[in-house]
Structure 1
Amino acid sequence: MAPYDWPIDTVNLPVMRIVTPKNEFMCGIYGMSFAYYSLKERLPVILTKIIDYLSREGAKIKSTHGASDEDIRSYIQYVTKLKNDLVTNKQYDLLTVDTPEARRWNQWIEALDIKHYFTNVWVFTECYVYRRLREGCELSKTLKNFDPFADQKQKSFEGSLELMCIVADKLVNMLSKSDKDKCKSDFVTLLKLCLWANKCDLSLSSGEQVFLNGNNADGKATASNIIDPFQMILDFKDKLLVDDTSKIVDQVTSKAEAMMKNLEANATVKYQCSCNRLATLAGITVCKDEPASAVDGAISSPPETPAAEATDVPCPTKMTSPQHVMFDIVCDNAGYELFADLCLAHFLISQGIVQKIRFHVKNIPWFVSDVTPVDFKWVIDSCLKASYRREVPQQPTEAAEGEVPPEPEPPRVISADNLRALAEQWTKYVDEGTFVVLHDDFWTSPHVYRDMKRHAPSLYRQLQYAVALLFKGDLNYRKLLCEKNVPPTSGLEAALQGFLPAPVIAVRTVKADLICGLPKGKWDQLNALDDKWMQKGDFGVIQYCGKVEPLKVADRPCDQYGDVCRGAGCGPRTDM
């Protein structure tokens, strides 16, 4: 990509005044790359804002968390040292908290050939910094549940409340069972809604509030103006560089229909557990609890269980088809973007396309605005309690010459009535297990997704049961592309480098200088128009890879039970 105009420190840092070479990992040593700019400018600003927030809101934090002045001072000192280590390109420190996950982090650090902030791969350094921020809280007795980004996420939500009300008013008309053409059109529209909602990324803006097109400096719509996210989809049509939405809808619906028919055909058949065979292969004790019928190859009908309850399922290492038709969303930002994801999920359920939606979120505060389980619940609860209302004057209709001007139309009312109704249904979906929130440690690891099968085989297999995987945002996109600056015309399948658990849908507004799937010549054309187009989030892609790895019976017991595998089933669970 074209050189950037920021200052490049080649005196104090081991940096070259070049862009990231093709097929090389994104790294801070390339001074003309966004990786360098992020490590040198954006990330230090984010850390500085945490320090300022701790200093400014110390009384509030102490009241909320029962913290002492010493707790606040200690965390400030911790973050200050972390920032200094980053900007001076020190070696990574090992984590000092003693948990299995922290010990894994230390093993990953010790295994590195390059252990410095700027000279190691960009994604490792960024993930490491956010993991260290969490460690600073873990080392405190009172700040273990402290989220240094909570206020920013909540303000971002509040600034987007009118947008959510407008979307809710239109979504309620998409939920009734519709014909094939309307269903496809609405599905496409909601995918694009999810794309442009990804502009609201607080890590890109170093924690500053991000507002969508048309807002004024305070993030509010003007008195006579309405910002309509659905109109934005039309306005941004030329900024959607790769649009696979039609293919996605066709492929997802057809695959979901096939899976549904398969489930119905096998509704009375109990999956046979092959635990004895697997245990023998693994060299462990044969499962004593496996019923004789399973050993003999017989089948039986399962007892009927209410749909809302967790049900016994076969061991995941042995299932070769899922128990439900599921669509997975690997989330990015909280606030308005999560709201848009919930709208898509609600549509897929209400239209009967799938039976469950699994939301994969981060288990700790991450990249400023990423969704955590706390954020997920907070967004739904806040929608449920929303009390927004605004009257917008209609534009007067001009009368023809000599005619009496018509009576002014009544103002348009924007309210949270439908938003609350949606949130009430989302709460029920969560309670009954239709919406499932999962937070595997892998999502807050430094690993790219090509390596998921090695580092998190159970998660990889879990993803294989989905009808499709929707990956949101830039960090997920970078990890899908293995943090490599692939040629921009490379196809998504090649860029995934073997990460094929289920059909992959990649949705992101472009905020980092790596991309794939562009038409020939498009990348050069965009660079000629604006050499910073890859860092602004003004352009987006919705990409699809339908190639998948066949789901086979595993050759080892699952990680959850190992040599104490219980045989015919893994007990009650709602995520399968």
Structure 2
Amino acid sequence: MNRITEASPLSAKDKTSFAYLTIKDRLPVILSKIADSVYRLKGKIKESHGEEGTEDLKSLAGYIAKLRNEVQTDKPVVPIQDGRTDVSVWNDYLTEIITNTGTPPRWFESPWLYVECYMYRRVQEAAELCKTLKDFDVFRDQKEKSFFDSQQAILVLMEHLHNVVAELKSGQQVDLKHLFENFLKVSLWGNKCDLSISAGQDVAQTSSPLDQLQMFEPNILVDNSEAVLTCLQRIKVTKGHPACVDIILDNAGFELMTDLCFAEFLIASSLASKICFHVKAMPWFVSDVTTYDFNWTINQLCASNNTHMSKFANIWKQYLEDKTWQVSVDDFWTLSFPFNEMETRCPDLHARLAISDFLFLKGDLNYRKLVGDLAWPFTTPFHVSLRGFQPAPLCTLRTLKCDTVTGLRDGQADEVKAKDEKWMINGNWAVISFSDKLS
């Protein structure tokens, strides 16, 4: 994709890999993976839902096959027809596009952010139109397998968390900056574990995340971690209490574990007093966290025979009971709109975030929505690429898996490309980008 002097939408035809197969190949791969997963579950569904469940599964599989054909043959986008609360938003926006362009959007030429989100919404429609499988998550088995496959790395992380919290509670002198940056960067690199970028192939963290920090340090292209810590400390001073923090989550499995550990560190170090986790309202981009995934993860830790896992799981359950931690769901996170449109399209959520002291946004899709999935010149200041979205000071933790990024220094992109031709798409490079001002 050629960079241009002014930001323009990335369309499906701009994509060149899976990351970086073309859309013509990429989305069918995901849909084929879904079909395979559905087929493997037929015995389990029959046992739990009987013949009616079996028939529903057949209908779901047929719907996915039909959707796959629509993608491959570049059919026009059609209205959503289930009963979810977001149907009118999707369909009104489709009408808005047709009114503005004179023609329905199609898979190959439309803005990539829109058609990719639309595909996952159609996958949910397949479940919603069933009688017995309305709550069926076609990605659940993959997410749970990713969690179990990452057990060794989770054990290492939980033991480290235990030691750090004990150190903080002891009252002895600690290097807060070092500890903060470690947990922040573990959460950052947890974002490498993304099932949507692997077409749903197995993804797990199998090595110590702490051992990897030094190795990956040169791959952080923008590192505003010190500014983030300074902001959190300033909030504590100016408001007289630790910050109320919102974390907009990305992936379940190992990444969610890194986010929970980071959240525990913020509480234990008195950098935060309350944390609100924002999860997806439906299964989304294969591995994104839903309310079910969040609760399932903590329940798995509770049932563990590992002392550190069960200990923190019970602490976190208490946090949820006394509202130190909260879990929030909003349809906006599973719409296709960039975040600078949140205030007009979802004013209640924007108002809710505006009373937060600090926002952490995890992952590639949240980053794409922050910057509008536009082809910004690489050196565009990050706060400019937000295009006015600044309800509160915010930081995005993202490993690069899609070809848009801002805030780089002059010549940095060429330097990185000389080392790694696929630097924008393979998840091996990252940004910790911070903004506390409007463009």
Query: What TM-score do you get using the length of structure 1 for normalisation?
Result: 0.72
Whether the 8 Å contact between 1:34 and 1:512 is mirrored in structure 2 is no
Structure 2 letter corresponding to 1:328: D
Counterpart of 2:199 (choices 182, 198, 206) is 206
Q: 2:208 is matched with which residue?
A: 228
RMSD across aligned positions (CA): 1.9
2:116 is the alignment partner of 1:126: yes
1:447 equivalenced with 2:337 (yes/no) = yes
For residues 292-441 of structure 1, the aligned pairs below 5 Å read 325-387=243-305, 416-441=306-331
Match in the other structure for 2:79: 94
Q: Which runs of 5+ in 1 are unaligned?
A: 2-18, 216-226, 262-323, 388-415, 550-576
Residue 150 (structure 1) aligned with residue 151 (structure 2): no
Alpha-carbon offset, residue 65 of structure 1 = 4.2
Matched letter for residue 353 of structure 1: L
Conservation of the 8 A alpha-carbon contact between 2:200 and 2:286: yes
Q: Cα 1:123–1:339, aligned 2, differ >3 Å: closer, same or farther?
A: same
One-letter identity of the residue aligned with 1:228: S
Structure (1 or 2) with the larger CA radius of gyration: 1
Residue 529 of structure 1, CA deviation: 2.5
- Tell me, yes or no, if structure 1 residue 42 matches structure 2 residue 32: no
- Cα distance change on mapping 1:432 and 1:96 into 2, 3 Å: same
| Counterpart Cα distance in 1 of 2:291 and 2:109 | 33
Judge conservation of contact 1:328–1:466 (CA < 8 Å) in 2. yes
Aligned with 2:326: secondary structure?
strand
Indicate whether 1:64 and 2:48 are aligned.
yes
CA distance in 2, matches of 1:243, 1:44: 36
Is 1:161 aligned to residue 151 of structure 2? yes
Structure 2 counterpart SS, 1:172:
helix
CA distance in 1, matches of 2:181, 2:355: 23
2:4, 2:377 within 8 Å by CA — same for their partners in 1?
A: no
Match of 1:79 in 2: 64
**Matches of 1:378 and 1:151 in 2, distance apart?**
12
1:490 has 2:380 as partner: yes
Unaligned residue ranges in structure 2 (runs of 5+): none
- Residue 31 of structure 1: CA displacement? 5.6
The correspondence for 1:459, drawn from 324, 342, 349, is 349
Secondary structure of the 1:531 match is coil
Which of 45-54 and 435-444 deviates more?
A: 45-54
Distance 2:311 2:83 in 1: 44
Q: Is the 8 A contact 1:256 1:467 kept in 2?
A: no
Give 1:236's aligned amino acid: F
- CA displacement, residues 255-275 of structure 1 (integer Å, 9 cap, x when unaligned): 1332235xxxxxxxxxxxxxx
Displacement, 1:511? 0.4
Q: Distance between the aligned counterparts of 1:32 and 1:474, measured in 2?
A: 17
The answer to whether the 8 A contact 1:26-1:35 is kept is no
Contact 2:385 2:406 in 1 (8 A): yes
> CA offsets, 1:515-537, max 9 Å, x none?
01112111012222322121110
What's the secondary structure of 1:29's corresponding residue? helix
Rounded Cα–Cα distance in structure 1 between residues aligned with 2:84 and 2:192: 35
SS at match of 1:84: helix
Q: Evaluate the alpha carbon distance shift between residue 364 and residue 477 of structure 1 in structure 2; reply closer, same or farther with a 3 A threshold.
A: same
Correspondence for 1:9 = none
Percent pairwise identity: 38
User: Which whole-Å CA distance do the structure 1 matches of 2:148 and 2:85 have between them?
Assistant: 37
Equivalent in the alignment of 2:425: 535
CA separation of 1:435/1:91 partners in 2, compared to 1, >3 Å: closer, same or farther? same
Determine the C-alpha separation between the residues in 1 that align with 2:317 and 2:188: 24
- The TM-score normalised by the length of structure 2 is 0.93
Does the 8 A contact of 1:510 with 1:536 survive in 2? yes
Per-residue deviation, 1:21 = 4.5
Q: 1: CA distance between counterparts of 2:438 and 2:8?
A: 26
The alpha-carbon deviation at position 20 of structure 1 amounts to 6.3
| Alpha carbons of structure 1 residues 36 and 181: separation in structure 2 relative to 1, 3 Å | same
Give the total of aligned pairs. Answer: 429
- SS of structure 1 residue aligned to 2:424: helix
SS in 1 for 2:375: coil
Q: Tell me if structure 2 keeps the 8 A contact 1:440–1:459.
A: yes
Q: Counterpart in 1 of 2:363?
A: 473
> Which amino acid is 2:230 matched to?
D
- The amino acid that maps onto 1:184 is K
Query: 1:188 and 2:181 equivalent?
Result: yes
Partners of 1:493 and 1:385 in 2: CA distance: 43
Deviations 1:301-347 (A, max 9, x none): xxxxxxxxxxxxxxxxxxxxxxx841010000001111111111111
> For the residues of structure 1 that align with 2:90 and 2:228, how far apart are their CA atoms?
36
Deviation at 1:24, TM superposition (A): 1.5
Comparing 540-549 with 325-334, which one deviates more in the overlay?
540-549
* Matched letter for residue 440 of structure 1: D
1:170 corresponds to 2:165: no
Which digits, 9 at most, give the CA deviation of each residue in 1:424-455, with x for residues without a partner? Answer: 11111111111100010100011000100011
Q: 1:135 to 1:238 in 2, by over 3 A?
A: same
Is contact 1:20-1:33 (8 Å) kept?
A: no
